[in-house]
Structure 1
Amino acid sequence: MLANLIRARFTPLVALAAIIAVVPLVAPSSFHLRVAALVWIFSLAALGLTILMGYAGQVSLGHAGFLGIGAYAVAIGPARFGLDPALCLVVGAVLAGLVAYVVGRPILKLKGYYLAIATLGFGVIVALVLHSESEVTGGPDGMQVARLTFFGWRVSGAWNWYWVTAGALLLGAALALNIAASPTGRALRALHDSEVAAAGTGIDVARKKLAAFVIAAIYAAVAGGLLAAMNGLITPEAASFTHSIELVAMAIIGGLGSVLGTVAGAAFLVVLPQVLTALQEYEQAVLGLLIMVFMIGLPAGIVPSARNWLLERLS
């Protein structure tokens, strides 16, 4: 039992660390390192949905709203208040967590389609505020973002950003795996299967759902802050409904509830559009078709389906 617990906790983390270590060896240019850094950032944001949807079974269609909060905290803090960008990364995570706590208390009483629509409404509100409050956020044109510094070290260049984002992803993955193996993780999985049964065993369902929602928001805010700092520019598009759907798709395509699956889903939706640019006006159509094919052929997700196939061949 203990061996299985240790394996479940550390095997995905070791595999992810190995992937991160190998990518720079095969990446032919700084452009490819930058694309990889984007994969790590969106993987981190989607990991929050892995906890919320994969563990707790709660739907969110406004997750990009929290990504926007974290991104604009890193942009507004230094520009308007002279704060350190690294400090604003933390401030954005705390702010997103507080907003998630306040918003989550009423909307998490809803279930199914009603919960999905409520979270969608939250995301739309955040995007509209970022668009309309031009004096603070720069409006539709967005605003410049100060460079991130850690103890005097200024993060710049594709190589440095690759390792900073990879380190953040590893920390986020370690936390997600620890949550999954903890009593809280088991409680979340119990309410995922049946909230009534979970409540019958003494689990505080409302509290656990709210905790998952807050944790997911913090993941998204940190990812948003890193995205804004790496790009040096942020626009309200970061909090758009389209990005929320993309984050949900990343978690589902890779394998809902799987940490490695989340990374695979993020890689699929970040890298594939770069590959399909040669198709020009057919790019989106082909991307949509491939998503349909993957979901039909691999309904459990990329990583769980691959794992099941391998186990069948070895048995």
Structure 2
Amino acid sequence: MRIGDAKETYVADEAIWTSPTQTFWFALLMAVLLVFPFLANSYLLYLGCLVGIAVISTTGLNILTGFTGLISLGQAGFMGVGAYTVAVMSTHTALPFPLVLVLAGLAAAAVGILVGLPSLRVKGLYLAIATLAASVFLHFIFAEWESVTGGMEGMSFAPAHMFGFTFRSDFAMYFIILSVAVLALFAARNLFRTRVGRAFIAIRDRDISAEILGISLLKYKLMSFALSSFYAGVAGGLFAYFYRVVTPESFPLSMSIFYLAAVIVGGMGNLLGGVLGAAFMTLVPEALKLLTSALTPFFPNAPVFMSPMLEIIFGALIVGFLIFEPHGLAEIWRRVRRFFHLWPFRN
């Protein structure tokens, strides 16, 4: 640590922005994000919405896996609970979408608490398998409980509405998704300034020592599962509002792997890493589609060859980052910042 990095008070050490420069760049980023939909075409606006939804869900999984050390492969199932809650509430009630989103998050959190019960006894691979089993079970419910979920045909419903306004277009949904994503990130950032967030980190670093110090493992593990699932439920609800149709195939197992990959690639235990990982992993499939389109005129069999590449690339990214950069994209960004902070006086 450099002398200039030392903080004189606890408040200064816990400040979200530690300098006017950081405040300026954050304000500039927010201005860019607000102007973006006015300049972007429909395709870029679509991608922006997908990235925002991915950021919310990845942040939730990062709370559980990155900060609490509990591996989960059930994120897709929790998102499905939130999405179907939105679909059912939108079909049978006239509640405004903010309240419906909160109910979707609470429904997913309740399921997350049930799924998290085995976390006191098992951890690591065994916990991952338990959450995977829960995701499969939830997928079975989505497909077979036809009277509520519509079965394999799914459910379609009206767009989000509030105070007489209806949000039909991607343009309108972008601002909703952006607002929820920013609020979710601020809530997560402040969470780790509290006793609860520090208890999560203590459990991740050494759970036995944390219990000796008086931290209830069951209480805080279930709380972490609930918070993570709440984020997933809200993300699933926004996913449902964005597409206005929900089917069991909207939330496959590969989606859970996608979000776990986003946490690993971005950097576990780092909120910025979750944002970078979500954006990176969302844009990788789109980049592959563009590459396939560019190669097709020269290689007609390019779509057949490239179709299975997405799973291979996801696996390669996870293994590659675990081996060569375990701290993920967040660490790469930190190095870039450090380089320019010292430039041109760098040796």
Shared fold, TM over 0.5: yes
Change (3 A) 1:291 1:268: farther
Give the number of the structure whose alpha-carbon radius of gyration is greater. Answer: 2
- Partner Cα distance (1:129, 1:188) in 2: 31
- Partner Cα distance (1:13, 1:133) in 2: 49
Shift of 1:141: 2.3
Match for 1:82 among 93, 101, 120?
A: 93
Deviates more, 1:35-44 or 1:269-278: 269-278
Match for 2:235 among 187, 206, 223?
A: 223
Q: Indicate conservation of the 8 Å contact 1:67/1:238, yes or no.
A: no
1:47 aligned to 2:63?
Answer: no
- Partner Cα distance (2:272, 2:209) in 1: 29
- Partner Cα distance (2:144, 2:205) in 1: 41
What letter is aligned with 2:156?
Q
Change (3 A) 1:25 1:64: closer
Match for 1:285 among 309, 325, 328?
A: 309
- Partner Cα distance (2:227, 2:130) in 1: 18
Amino-acid identity (%): 33
Shift of 1:201: 1.3
Deviation sequence 1:28-59 (CA, Å, 0-9, x none) = 30221121111011110111111111111111
Deviates more, 1:110-119 or 1:91-100: 91-100
Match for 1:304 among 331, 336, 343?
A: 331
- Partner Cα distance (2:186, 2:81) in 1: 24
- Partner Cα distance (2:217, 2:270) in 1: 22
Work out which structure has the larger RCO, using CA pairs closer than 8 Å and 6 or more positions apart in sequence: 1
What is the match of residue 295 of structure 2? none
Change (3 A) 1:13 1:204: farther
Shift of 1:143: 1.3
1:4 aligned to 2:13?
Answer: yes
Match for 1:152 among 157, 164, 175?
A: 164
Change (3 A) 1:308 1:287: farther
Match for 1:256 among 247, 256, 268?
A: 268
Q: Which segments of 5 or more consecutive residues in structure 2 lack a partner in the other structure?
A: 1-6, 293-302
Change (3 A) 1:110 1:17: farther
- Partner Cα distance (2:109, 2:61) in 1: 14
Match for 1:58 among 42, 65, 70?
A: 70
What is the match of residue 83 of structure 2? 71
What is the match of residue 297 of structure 2? none
Deviation sequence 1:49-75 (CA, Å, 0-9, x none) = 111111111111111111000000111
- Partner Cα distance (1:9, 1:175) in 2: 18
Query: Map of 1:95-134 to 2, 5 A cutoff?
Result: 95-134=107-146
For 2:215, what is the secondary structure of its paired residue? coil
- Partner Cα distance (2:329, 2:124) in 1: 25
- Partner Cα distance (2:152, 2:270) in 1: 35
What is the match of residue 266 of structure 1? 278
1:176 aligned to 2:200?
Answer: no
Match for 2:252 among 231, 240, 246?
A: 240
Shift of 1:289: 3.5
Shift of 1:222: 0.5
- Partner Cα distance (1:214, 1:173) in 2: 16
- Partner Cα distance (2:243, 2:312) in 1: 26
What letter is aligned with 1:110?
V
For 2:132, what is the secondary structure of its paired residue? helix
What is the match of residue 207 of structure 2? 195
For 1:149, what is the secondary structure of its paired residue? strand
Q: Indicate conservation of the 8 Å contact 1:33/1:159, yes or no.
A: yes
- What CA RMSD, in Å, does the superposition of the two structures yield over aligned residues? 2.5
- Partner Cα distance (2:153, 2:196) in 1: 42
What letter is aligned with 2:80?
G
TM-score by length of 2: 0.83
- Partner Cα distance (2:223, 2:198) in 1: 13
Q: Which segments of 5 or more consecutive residues in structure 1 lack a partner in the other structure?
A: none
Give the length in aligned residue pairs: 314
What letter is aligned with 2:31?
A
TM-score by length of 1: 0.91
Change (3 A) 1:25 1:229: closer
